[in-house]
């Protein structure tokens, strides 16, 4: 995984996401989740394309159960876009990179 993607946790979520000045796309995932691994390359590309304009943070739901529970994550991958400390958009499941691109673009 590239250094463009931030590994978030229950402990760092507030600092990395809620207090972020840029919009943040949070990927709630797990290493055993096939669809999560399928979407990972698109997230890498998104992180590079939006560098300096938005952030991508991955939160492993097995290691960090509190944050996904707080945001009602029932299935993974779930991607939630945060802006100004608020969840403003959400996608569940594998979606095309184009859809992720549009999701972020409309909130920048």
* Catalytic annotation, residues: 33, 36
DSSP three-state, residue 42:
helix
Is 5 within 8 Å of 43 (Cβ atoms)?
yes
Instruction: Report DSSP state, residue 2.
Output: -
84 Rama class: left (phi>0) / alpha (psi -120 to 50) / beta: left
By DSSP bridging, strand 5-8 and strand 55-60 are parallel
**CA 65/CA 23 separation, integer angstroms:** 23
């Amino acid at each position: 995984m590239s250094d463009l993607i931030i590994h978030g946790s229950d402990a760092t979520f507030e600092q990395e996401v809620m207090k972020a000045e840029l919009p943040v796309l949070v990927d709630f995932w797990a290493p055993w989740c096939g669809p999560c691994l399928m979407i990972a390359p698109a997230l890498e590309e998104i992180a590079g394309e939006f560098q300096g304009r938005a952030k991508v943070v991955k939160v492993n739901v097995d290691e960090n159960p509190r944050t996904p529970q707080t945001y009602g994550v029932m299935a993974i991958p779930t991607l939630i876009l945060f802006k100004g400390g608020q969840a403003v958009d959400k996608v569940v499941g594998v979606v095309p990179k184009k859809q992720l691109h549009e999701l972020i673009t409309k909130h920048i």
